[in-house]
Amino acid sequence: MTLMAVDYGTKRIGIAVTDRAEKIALPLAVMPVRSIEDGIEKIGTIVREREVRKIIVGLPLAHDGGETDMSRQVRSFAEKLHADVHVPVTLEDERHTTQAAEAPLIEAGMSGRKRRGRVDAGAASVLLQYYLRSHPKSSE
């Protein structure tokens, strides 16, 4: 079994998964978003193929921790995702995950255009690594 993290955006969805031991977060894919339903269908395929037991969806909060329009969109997406894939879905604060994922790419000299395609899966991986640290497997 594995865990999955989802970095939901209006243009792209970043996906990361853990290894089978649920110790390491690995970026998996960046998918273009055509519709919420299309994104959920693609995620459902990965859930079945990878035997995902839980999905962590990044919740974009304002700097003060408050809700935003995007937070509400992500909550709606997470509800639909849970209803369709029948796997537990949890929301986790994703503030600063994009910056953490982008920093090494900038340091490596990667252009903005090339980074754009990789940063979403990287942000999902960072989110998943944060989750692994704060939720040890033995306590779940």
pLDDT exceeds 70 at position 68 = yes
The domain spanning residue 119 has which CATH number?
3.30.420.140
**What's the mean pLDDT when you consider all of the chain?**
84
Total number of domains in the chain: 1
Mean pLDDT value of segment 25-33: 91
| Structure confidence at residue 139 (pLDDT) | 41
Higher pLDDT, 89 or 101: 89
Judged against a pLDDT cut of 70, whether residue 119 lies above it is answered with no
pLDDT band, residue 10 (cuts 50/70/90): confident
- 18: domain range? 2-139
**Cβ atoms of 132 and 25 closer than 8 Å:** yes
* pLDDT number for residue 114: 59
**What's the maximum distance between 2 C-alpha atoms anywhere in the chain?**
41
In the predicted model, is pLDDT for residue 14 greater than 70?
yes
CA distances from 26 to 29, 86, 122 (A): 10, 23, 8
**Statement: residue 90 has pLDDT above 70:** yes
Radius of gyration of the chain (CA): 14
Q: Distance (Å, rounded) from C-alpha 8 to C-alpha 75?
A: 10
